[in-house]
Chains A and B, each alone.
Chain A
């Protein structure tokens, strides 16, 4: 319930021209695609939970964007947003996800055995491996729109589900609001703790409301499987470990996710999913698999090669700094992960990472020996 938008019917007293946002200086997917006609068509609609068009677009109106970085500029408040506002969201999804059509079907594949290789990435170069995704609990509004009662219910359900895990998944929940200083210190040192969002992209969408109520971190005893509760999505699920054994990480990821899903289903609250959009998450950029599988890899020579960006694009990969999104690389170490989220399965996307990183490490070794890598440059996948 971002501010002022619950009284949508009152707004209809004003003309479209008077209410239509000024997007002339904006550069985000929403601003590109929200014509006055679409605004007029959708402005009197709301989802069953009361989420409106102005709620969807507020973050994009408040954050004009960057000339070089194209942000999405809109969010979903609940599962039905993607249906009720499809006249805006389908074009945004298509624009963001390389032409994904409104009629396309998305394939889900969490069978880790389908992954080939991935257990032999050179640990001299690949420092750590990580796979993350998000999940939304069916029947509850999403972080931009949920009430305190809903957020607390999601937390209760999630903690119950997670606490019933055993074996390598046995773990503990640390609610943000009652964490001890010692626990907090440890979670920071483990790089597990998430902070109240400061990004205006998230704040303008109302995702930091009532912080830290209903938020927390769960992780297993081995510290290789981690779940964030009520940050940017209901759940963010992360499997990670040092070194290059992506195969093991992906296996733990898939097994853990499936165990959690079984427990939620037993309580009649499965995950939000449909065959067109795959897993439903708050930000349209995370639809499909919502998966980002990546490694921290040392590529000091390759990263300065003229063709680095092109190689990444052809391999369907993206680079980030080691601090995550919108950070710079430190000491030639890059975070390399899959660029796609929708239209290909989890296995497909992790396969891209595994194959692509293996190739780039070989390229790095060649460059170290002063050899050319021209013959190794791949075709567009």
Chain B
């Protein structure tokens, strides 16, 4: 798609300059201006922020709503205290927006201090076993080490956690994080191969990620309480326009908190609830949250602390939950928000319904105030860790499988069903007795509905196996289900 437009640069309603220029939009929805524009733009007292311009996820078919959506996020930009020039261009069928930022206010890409050549700075990754170390060649390092996102996040910051945590021979961690939405674009030469490895071949340049929160499509999903002790679905959401936990300033983190709790305060009915700030929680409230297994602690994992996610703890961190304690939101832990729907017993269908309703309602509430979630059509929902891209969804149950768990075929069955097991304490814990946490392996490339259906179908199969073994019957390893639907 392409066209020619008149770019008008306006600041606070005054037109500062205008240029006629060709532009084109590639199939990923990224907009490029011809270089002549950039040269002219440099002559203006503003410059174009090299940000990927996103098309908003359409919620309705008509293009009018896209314009309305964009208008609201750019109304927020206009009303912010930052001096911005707005460039608007109208082309065939889509409105895309970029903004010029006043040069005195932002130094995009020029903060990176370099006194040594890239070869002297390249990390020693010979003893490392993580996705970043597998893909960060000296050539990629040299290419990216001078770049930074518009907010100033650098490659060295993105990879620090992977340099500091060489990894484990058996567990391959990701080894890098994003400091903001633009990181995934600016450092795509490293993120894309990491994403491909972590998400089993997903090609971030060419593949599209489906988002689907239509819970009415779920079939089944009410498990036998004799086997399934609890059901839970979690994901994360990031607020577009604010840096992510590895890089956010205190002011940004506080703004995330304000935006989120303002929206959550608008939830009604079975979703109505209350916010507990970590900085001012009473001892009693803290004890209750611990007893409910809702409280999160300051991260101790070096994977998180080395990425800077525990800075300024506990400033602007907190926990929100509904009065019924079935819908929970963590604010500013490892992501801007972590959203969790859970209940005792096996009614995964209801858990997922509440999950979707809650998420969609929160999204509506933040949009009314001119905010939106970070999302794009290749990577789905943007979160701090590349492992959580796409849906960011982990749907799981605590299920009792005394016989099946001792069967030598257990792991293979899980693999083929595209499920993973964890202990009941969560990631990197051991099972207690024969109760396992069983959840989806995949995050990116399949929708929420598809992944939850996979868990439901898979857990049904596991329970069938357990029942067969109870009766002394034999079980079969199921054929592997396909990964990208």
A residues in contact (CB < 8 Å) with B:
1-4, 6-15, 18-22, 49-50, 54, 58, 61-62, 147-150, 152-153, 177, 203-204, 208-211, 213
Q: Which of B87-143 contact A (CB under 8 A)?
A: 105-107, 111-113, 115-117, 120-124, 127
Is the Cβ of B157 less than 8 Å from the Cβ of A6? yes
A209 CB contacts on chain B under 8 angstroms: 160, 163-164, 306
CB-CB under 8 A from B81, the residues of chain A are: 13
Q: Which residue of A lies closest to B312 (CB)?
A: A61
Supply 10 A–B pairs (Cβ within 8 Å), ascending by A.
Answer: A6-B148, A6-B152, A6-B157, A7-B111, A21-B250, A49-B113, A62-B313, A209-B164, A209-B306, A213-B124
Q: Do residues A18 and B156 form an inter-chain contact, with CB atoms below 8 A?
A: no
Expressed in whole angstroms, the minimum distance between the Cβ of B66 and any Cβ of chain A is 28
Nearest B residue (CB) for A16: B251
Chain A residue numbers with a CB within 8 Å of B310 are 62
Q: Does B236 contact A (CB under 8 A)?
A: no
B251 touches A211 (CB 8 A): no
3 nearest A-B residue pairs (beta carbon) = A7-B152, A3-B308, A149-B116
Tell me if B197 counts as interface (CB < 8 A to partner A).
no
**Residue contact A9 to B106, C-beta cutoff 8 Å:** yes
Tell whether, in the assembled complex, residue A210 and residue B312 are in contact, meaning their CB atoms are under 8 Å apart: no
Q: Which residues of the other chain, B, contact A11 by a CB distance below 8 angstroms?
A: 249, 251
Decide if B204 is an interface residue (CB 8 Å cutoff). no
Most buried by A among B251, B255, B313: B251
Give the contacting residue for A3; candidates B82, B124, B127, B307; CB below 8 A.
B307
Decide if A4 touches B311 in the complex (CB within 8 Å).
Answer: yes
- Chain B 5-42: CB-based contact to A (< 8 A → 1; otherwise 0): 00000000000000000000000000000000000000
Q: Chain A interface: which of B240-248, B359-367, B409-417, B460-468?
A: B240-248
Chain B hits for A149, CB < 8 A:
115-117, 120-121
Knowing A4-B179, A12-B105 are in contact, say whether A19-B250 is a contact too (CB < 8 A).
yes
Q: How far is the CA of A7 from the CA of B313 in the complex (A)?
A: 20
Q: What residues of B have a CB within 8 angstroms of the CB of A208 in the complex?
A: 164
* Chain A contacts for B307, CB-based, 8 A: 3
A148 to B151, CA, bound (A): 23
Q: How many angstroms from the CA of A211 to the CA of B246 in the assembled complex? A: 19
Nearest Cβ distance between residue B280 and chain A, in whole angstroms?
A: 10
| Pairwise interchain contact A19-B251, C-beta atoms closer than 8 A | yes
Check A22–B279 contact: CB distance below 8 A.
Answer: yes
The total of chain B residues at the interface (CB under 8 A) is: 48
Query: Which residues of A have CB within 8 Å of B250?
Result: 18-21
Please tell me if the beta carbons of B156 and A147 are within 8 angstroms of each other in the complex: yes
Give the CA-CA distance A273 to B106 in the complex, in Å.
35
Chain B residues with Cβ below 8 Å from A7 are 111, 148, 151-153, 247
Known contacts: A3-B311, A203-B305. The answer to whether A177 contacts B124 by CB under 8 A is yes
Contact of A150 among B116, B117, B311 (CB under 8 A): B116
Task: Say whether B163 contacts A150, CB under 8 Å.
Answer: no
- Chain B nearest CB: distance from A203 CB in Å? 7
Closest to B300 in A: A200
The residue on A at minimum CB distance from B149 is A7
CB atoms of B121 and A147 under 8 A apart: yes
B157 nearest in chain A by CB position: A3
Q: How far is the CB of A63 from chain B (nearest CB, A)?
A: 10
With A21-B250, A62-B313, A148-B121: A2-B115 Cβ-Cβ less than 8 Å:
no
Closest to B101 in A: A13
Given contacts A3-B307, A4-B243, A6-B152, contact A13 B82 (CB under 8 A): yes
Other CB < 8 Å A-B pairs besides A6-B157, A14-B251, A61-B312, 15 of them? A3-B157, A3-B160, A4-B243, A4-B248, A6-B148, A7-B111, A9-B106, A9-B111, A13-B82, A14-B249, A18-B254, A22-B315, A54-B249, A149-B116, A204-B311
- Docked complex Cα distance between A193 and B106 (Å): 45
A147 vs B310: C-alpha distance when bound (angstroms) = 22
Asked, given contacts A13-B81, A22-B315, A149-B121, whether A4 binds B308 with beta carbons under 8 Å apart, the answer is yes
Interface status of B334 (Cβ within 8 A of chain A):
no
A209 to B255, CA, bound (A): 29
User: Bound state CA distance, A148 and B279, in angstroms?
Assistant: 36
Q: Which of A14, A15, A177 has the most CB of B within 10 A?
A: A14
Q: Which of B266-314 contact A (CB under 8 A)?
A: 279, 305-308, 310-313
CB closest residue in chain A, given B244: A4
Give CA–CA (A133, B94) in the complex, Å: 65
Q: Which residue, A4, A20, A209, has most C-beta atoms of chain B within 10 A?
A: A4
Taking a contact as CB atoms closer than 8 A, the residue among B107, B122, B124, B305 that contacts A9 in the complex is: B107
